[in-house]
């Protein structure tokens, strides 16, 4: 362990490889102490045919009260699927009250994919997320989320000009370093990094599989490398390779998510 305590704010699915059940082992693998703020407890993730959902919003102020009494602080924050606008104000409170110095904030908006919003989200949620992203140091939207955030047309076929224009507008809107994920160009997949000055692509092999939870794995691995001091391109490369390796190691259909455990166990740490 390197002494850094990272708070990740996401839902907790009791069964299924996504959100906190992914973020915890990945952050720990890279030598970080992972602390959690669960937004809700689900019986299992939502790719199953049914699930239960217990909202933890009302408990969060009680958690904060105890953290204050115990003098708990965090070296960094990773936000994933939040689910409700009311959680966003609580996240901002966490930044203000529990940050160790100027602790960096990484936010994966996690509200849509393939040109559509996830169930339960609407324009009001997107607007609230747009405001929350102004508190981030780095944001990790996919193409769908980026297009909703800036209000542009979502395209399935695009070139570099389209992606870079989105990145520029997101930076102007939020002031955060923009890492657009799931960028597909020239038969490869990866990320575009824009820091307000230059655009940098990190592209690699596209594995022809889809699975629930891969975005959560990417965000956790990227954040871990970033919190450990890696350059952004290296953080993208490591996270992207981990996702690709996990997809390769997973059966063609595995409803729980990607089978990341063996891959993580054999991958470099730190």
Phi-psi region of 181 (alpha: psi -120 to 50; beta: other; left: phi over 0): beta
- CA-based nearest residue to 169, from 132, 201, 188, 141: 141
Bridge-based pairing of strands 33-42 and 5-13 is parallel
Give 240's pLDDT tier (boundaries 50, 70, 90): very high
- CA-based nearest residue to 265, from 13, 20, 26, 35: 26
Q: Looking at residues 81-94, what average pLDDT do you find?
A: 96
Phi-psi region of 111 (alpha: psi -120 to 50; beta: other; left: phi over 0): alpha
Burial of 190-211, coded b for 16+ CB within 10 Å and e otherwise, reads: bbbbbeeeeeebbbeeebebeb
Q: Looking at residues 23-38, what average pLDDT do you find?
A: 96
pLDDT digits (tens, 9 = 90+) for 55-86: 999 999 999 999 999 999 999 999 999 999 99
- CA-based nearest residue to 228, from 7, 92, 27: 27
Give 254's pLDDT tier (boundaries 50, 70, 90): confident
Residue whose tokens read 């996504």: 18
* Percent of the chain whose predicted confidence (pLDDT) is above 90: 80
H helices within 5-59, ranges in order? 19-29
Give 1's pLDDT tier (boundaries 50, 70, 90): low
Structural domains in the chain, CATH included, are 5-266 (3.40.1190.20)
> In this structure, what token pair is assigned to residue 53?
């959902």
Distance of CA 246 to the CA centre of its chain: 17
160 touches 128 (CB < 8 A): no
E-only strand ranges, 63-187: 76-79, 105-107, 112-113, 116-117, 138-139, 177-185
Q: What is the pLDDT of residue 216?
A: 94
Q: How far apart are CA 6 and CA 4, in angstroms?
A: 6
**3 state SS for 107-133:** ECCCCEECCEECCCCCHHHHHHHHHHH
pTM: 0.95
Q: How far apart are CA 188 and CA 224, in angstroms?
A: 24
Longest dimension (CA), the chain: 54
Q: How far apart are CA 268 and CA 266, in angstroms?
A: 7
């Amino acid at each position: 362990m390197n002494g850094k305590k990272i708070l990740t704010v996401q839902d907790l699915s009791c069964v299924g490889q996504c959100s906190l059940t992914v973020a915890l082992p990945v952050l720990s693998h890279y030598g970080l102490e992972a602390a959690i703020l669960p937004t809700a407890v689900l019986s299992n993730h939502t790719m199953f045919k049914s699930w239960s959902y217990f909202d933890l919003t009302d408990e969060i102020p009680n958690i904060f009260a105890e953290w204050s009494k115990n003098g708990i602080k965090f070296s960094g924050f990773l936000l994933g699927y939040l689910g409700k606008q009311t959680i966003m104000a609580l996240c901002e409170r966490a930044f203000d009250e529990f940050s160790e110095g100027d602790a960096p904030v990484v936010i994966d908006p996690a509200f849509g994919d393939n040109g559509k919003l996830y169930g339960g989200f609407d324009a009001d949620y997107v607007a609230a997320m747009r405001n929350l992203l102004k508190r981030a140091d780095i944001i990790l939207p996919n193409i769908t989320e980026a297009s909703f955030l800036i209000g542009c047309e979502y395209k399935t076929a695009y070139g570099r000009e389209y992606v870079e224009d989105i990145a520029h507008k997101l930076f102007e809107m939020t002031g955060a370093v923009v890492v657009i994920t799931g960028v597909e160009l020239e038969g490869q997949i990866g990320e575009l990094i824009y820091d307000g000055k230059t655009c940098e692509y990190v592209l690699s092999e596209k594995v022809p599989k889809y699975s629930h939870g891969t975005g959560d794995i990417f965000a956790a691995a990227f954040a871990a490398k970033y919190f450990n001091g890696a350059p952004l391109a290296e953080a993208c490369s490591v996270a992207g390779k981990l996702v690709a390796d996990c997809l390769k190691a997973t059966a063609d259909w595995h409803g729980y998510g990607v089978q990341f455990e063996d891959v993580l166990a054999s991958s470099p740490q730190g």
